[in-house]
Amino acid sequence: MHFETKTIHSGVHPDPSTGAIMTPIFQTSTYVQDGPGNHKGYEYARTQNPTRTVLQDNLTALENGHSAYCFSSGLAAMDAVIKLLKSGDGVLASNDMYGGSFRLLDRVFKDFGIETKLIPMQDPSLVKQSIQSNTRLIWIETPTNPLLNIVDIEAICNIAHQQNILVCVDNTFATPYLQNPLNLGADLVLHSATKYLGGHSDVVHGAVICKNQELGDRVKFIQNATGAVPGPMDCFLVLRGIKTLHVRVERACNNAEKIAHFLLEHPKVNRVLYPGFSDHPGHLIAKKQMKMFGAMLSFDLKNESLEAANKVLSGTKLFSCAESLGGVESLIGHPASMTHASLPKDERLKSGLTDSLIRLSVGIEHVDDLIEDLRQAIDS
């Protein structure tokens, strides 16, 4: 089945009691049993909920996985993945990973004996050199946020699997429409469904998709045992968002490409970070592992002052200055003070995340209006 059909149909079935075409929101905490243990597969709503089941089955199909488990946020989903490890184990992650993901590893799991090492992941040979005897998990984000570095998923999976190391790919930026990490050898895929999967900036939600039964059983156990499950309304919203995922992402990618070219030619703009440019260092890998180049891009101005960047950040009218990404509406953000404030400043600067970098999450408005909005904000 094609992806565009899976988004709408996979896992979804008319409600057997009424024929409702939309999956009902099963707002219940428990289920009546005919007698102890004699039930229809649902006992208690932390363990199972029918709205959540449909979403999990749908996500499994979109990522070509064995099973999927949903959580109350992207970070709750990541928390479940890290709980596959034990005290003393090591995680290898990229030095420009999402700030909240770094904070979870460095400020929470460090105290439980999980060691995190940050490296620039775009060089697979450096990944190989950085593996230590306790490394049990490689955490990949690609494209990275907000520097738009591209990590070669297949190359890193090959290195990891020679040493029995798990690979989890945070696929939030690419979405399953553009990139399927399990097909490239990854063991686990993580989504902050808050972003493109939900797509309408109205829900916080996360998911883990597992490649096989063994990992699926372990994540399922953690989901129930630790309990960071999403409510049925949130599952419904993500399920509804996914029905238009392919249409939204395709439009947003096309808009982003045009905006990237506009910025590149603007006399006041210094760098434009966008993997669709043929001279972007990760362009060929992006072309190999992604269907399109994504709808996120970053740029900075020739005037490197924070003041100049702030003028653009507060001068746009259609691009709203806000955290998050992946919604239908375009957003503009300042990673150094917003999404990435929890990364240590020296790591931030080492990776190229300067104080004047501006990040765009391109939405699905008319591209001419978006370009005009950026033009007036940069020129003013």
Ligand X SMILES: *Cc1c(COP(=O)(O)O)cnc(C)c1O
Q: Which chain residues interact with ligand X by CB under 6 A?
A: 73-75, 98, 100-101, 141, 145, 170, 172-173, 192, 194-195, 204, 206
Task: Supply the DSSP string of 208-275, one letter for each residue.
Answer: EEESSHHHHHHHHHHHHHH--PPPHHHHHHHHHHHTTHHHHHHHHHHHHHHHHHHHHH-TTEEEEE-T
Q: Please, what is the minimum distance in Å from the beta carbon of residue 295 to ligand X?
A: 13
170 is a catalytic site residue: yes
Task: CB nearer to ligand X: give 74 or 181.
Answer: 74
Task: CB nearer to ligand X: give 145 or 201.
Answer: 145
DSSP 197: T
Q: Which of 152, 170, 300, 373 is catalytic?
A: 170
Task: CB nearer to ligand X: give 50 or 333.
Answer: 333
Strands of 115-119's sheet in order across: 67-71, 206-210, 188-192, 166-170, 135-141, 90-94, 115-119
Q: What are phi and psi of 16, to 5 degrees?
A: -60, -25
The residue at minimum Cβ distance from ligand X is 74
Q: Please, what is the minimum distance in Å from the beta carbon of residue 238 to ligand X?
A: 11
52 is a catalytic site residue: no
Q: Please, what is the minimum distance in Å from the beta carbon of residue 372 to ligand X?
A: 27
Task: CB nearer to ligand X: give 8 or 108.
Answer: 108
Q: Please, what is the minimum distance in Å from the beta carbon of residue 50 to ligand X?
A: 23
For 56, the token pair is: 């999990």
Task: CB nearer to ligand X: give 180 or 377.
Answer: 180
Q: Which of 69, 98, 196, 274 is catalytic?
A: 98
**Amino acid present at 308:** A
251 is a catalytic site residue: no
Q: Judging by DSSP bridges, how do beta strands 320-321 and 331-333 pair with one another? A: parallel
Within 8 A by CB and 6+ apart from 278, the residues are none
Q: Please, what is the minimum distance in Å from the beta carbon of residue 350 to ligand X?
A: 20
**Amino acid present at 363:** G
d(CA 166, CA 160): 7
Angle at 324 between CA 3 and CA 193, to 5 degrees: 35
Catalytic residues: 46, 98, 170, 195
